Structure 1
Amino acid sequence: MSKKVLLTDHPWPDVDIERGILEAAGYELVAGPIETPDAATVEAMVAEHDPIAIMTCWAQVSATAIARPATLKIVARLGVGLDNIVIPAATARGAWVTNVPDYCVQEVSDHAVALLLDLWRGITLFDRDVKAGNWNPAAARLHRVADMTVAVIGFGRIGAATARKLARGFGCRVLVTSPSLVAKHAVGHELEPGIFVTDIATLQREADGIVLTAPLTADNRHMVNDEFIASLQRTPIIVNISRGPLIDNDALVRGLEAGRVRAAGLDVIEGEPSPPASVTQRPDVVATPHIAFSSAAALAELRRRSTEDVVRALRGEQPLHPCNQPGESS
């Protein structure tokens, strides 16, 4: 049986953490590139090395890649979202799929708040202006953050942390929604001081800012589309720190141009790592390259915990963060 563990990609400069944990357990790490390879390259790496485990950060792990190893015990995502792994294929062949669901809650929620503050207080906008040689405080059209109503779509760990920081730290009125919240509570129910359950129609009427933290699914792909934007009443800022395809890029541009959306703060954009210039080059868009999760502490925790779960699976133990039940029929 193979003793190789394939790491498809790693957007950090070394693999010392992963290699140290795996070698101590008796396994060999085969590391792919820092840059994200395409699905065909991952499939070729799997065919070459016949790994017993696959670890992936951004790379797509296809059904073909999952089917190729003689024995495959686990496909581990170094991150939270699972849209780059064909989970049914892993489940069908008896392999675990894992993630690390809570390693970057503080970083991502901080980033969401930072993008809102940047856009409401004009930080990037006026920094660009000053660097261009202008000094024009009379041009400021800024906002008192405590007067803002912010909607958070998705109320998992990151959504909840974002809502609490805005309500407790800045005094915002925060509206939160998710399918499970709406099923359990009436619209208007106060979950915590300053945080209220809402639905999409209400937040479209009342929100000055909208933060997307929901996981990407087939049902919510392009949830921010022309129809969604047409119903916005308060010209809100839209912030996305979840997955790019939650927003239809062309619809967002149309909304910005029509004045239905005030500005956008985007850590994720459909089409990354080469997102469309029609979005990124706009002065009313502040974009960061999918780094909301990142801090030295978060990355070290992510790498250690993900690799430790791989070792558990290879020893025949249940991982701490399983995302499937191997062998179950779909």
Structure 2
Amino acid sequence: MVRIVITDCDHDTIEPEQLAAAEAGIDLVRADSADEDAVIEAAAGADGLIVQYAPITAAVLDALPGLKVVSRYGVGVDTIDVDAAHARGVLVCNVPDYGSEDVSDHAIALALSLLRGIPRLDRRMRQGSYDVAAVKPLHRFRGRTFGVVGLGRIGRATARKARALGFEVVAHDPVVEEVPASLRGTELLSFEDILGRADVLSLHVPLTPATRHLLNSGTLSRMRPDSVVVNTGRGGVVDTEALADAIERGGILGAALDVVENEPLPPSHRLFGLSNVVLTPHTGWYSEESFTELKRRAAENAIAGSLGRTPRDVVPAAAPRT
């Protein structure tokens, strides 16, 4: 019987995976593997793996000669040695588009919450204050500039939603030469130009050597003092300490972050003490719909690969690690 092992999973249910496996007549086993040895032990004889955080290294792949496919919950495949897998004839799959609407919704929600001063107003109201002094000046969205860095699925969805709210949208993506028809009228800018022009700078790029600390003390210094940063992509794209420095000295107005470099953010971190910072715990991907889709599609990819079929979402060997 074909066997698929879930190496690790912190979800409260695996019902979507179980349903997909039962329909395909596949044996599905859930493990709790945190390192290479645990993965090798749990996955002995497996045809396919479904992975959340467990390391799938060359050593793991060598120890599992019957393995046909590794399917990851999520977009990034940085815990999987993709090149080693391909060299051994093992498919690597992800779910690249399951949360596009949800993450872009979250980016917009964070931006609007910050621009309207909602967290600060809420805190002051709980303290008995019923005035707007703490958040002055606020400005309407129409006529303000929303900058999107990265025009992948999530960046395009964020740009579309920002335009619907009345923002002027500008974008930067080094590999995009022309904006898609759905965003016609959006101006493509250099990174330097978007830094100086955006009232909101929303980041939607993968984490690569080229994008690590894309926002650092130097680039942050080129932003306007009334601008804000929104990051729902990868924490390492922003130098956390440089960002906190910029906010504290008034170099930028504030930030709204769903991701940071080192998660979880320590409770003592100074970002928690800044009133013009909005933080959420890496939950931009989540909705009940995206959660179910993620799990179902990760299982379907593993099932297809285990049965010798071509999965829907195969990561090529040369794909950048995100």
- If the length of structure 1 is used for normalisation, what is the TM-score? 0.88
| Whole-Å separation in 2 of the counterparts to 1:200 and 1:27 | 49
Matched, 1:312 2:304: yes
The letter of the residue matching 1:133 is G
Which of 146, 150, 153 matches 1:150?
Answer: 146
| Whole-Å separation in 2 of the counterparts to 1:307 and 1:6 | 10
C-alpha spacing 1:24/1:46, structure 2 compared with 1 (3 Å): farther
C-alpha spacing 1:24/1:150, structure 2 compared with 1 (3 Å): same
Q: How does 1:1-330 map to 2 (within 5 A)?
A: 3-33=2-32, 38=34, 40=35, 43-50=37-44, 51-141=46-136, 142-167=138-163, 169-181=164-176, 184-185=177-178, 192-275=183-266, 277-324=269-316
TM-fit CA distance, 1:236: 1.5
TM-fit CA distance, 1:48: 3.4
1:177-205 CA distance string (max 9 Å, x none):
11211xx249xx99834411111111111
1:153-191 CA distance string (max 9 Å, x none):
110111001001111x1111111111211xx249xx998
Gaps of at least 5 residues in structure 1 are none
TM-fit CA distance, 1:255: 1.0
Q: Quote the sequence identity (%).
A: 34
Q: Which one has more relative contact order, counting CA pairs under 8 Å at least 6 apart?
A: 2
Deviates more, 1:91-100 or 1:56-65: 56-65
TM-fit CA distance, 1:234: 4.6
The letter of the residue matching 2:130 is W
The answer to whether the Cα contact below 8 Å between 1:66 and 1:72 also exists between their aligned partners in 2 is: yes
Q: CA RMSD in A?
A: 2.4
Gaps of at least 5 residues in structure 2 are none
* Matched pairs, number: 315
SS of structure 1 residue aligned to 2:75: coil
| Whole-Å separation in 2 of the counterparts to 1:105 and 1:79 | 11
The answer to whether the Cα contact below 8 Å between 2:224 and 2:252 also exists between their aligned partners in 1 is: no
Deviates more, 1:12-21 or 1:80-89: 80-89
The answer to whether the Cα contact below 8 Å between 1:190 and 1:196 also exists between their aligned partners in 2 is: no
SS of structure 2 residue aligned to 1:180: coil
The answer to whether the Cα contact below 8 Å between 2:4 and 2:47 also exists between their aligned partners in 1 is: yes
C-alpha spacing 1:134/1:67, structure 2 compared with 1 (3 Å): farther
TM-fit CA distance, 1:132: 2.8
TM-fit CA distance, 1:64: 3.4
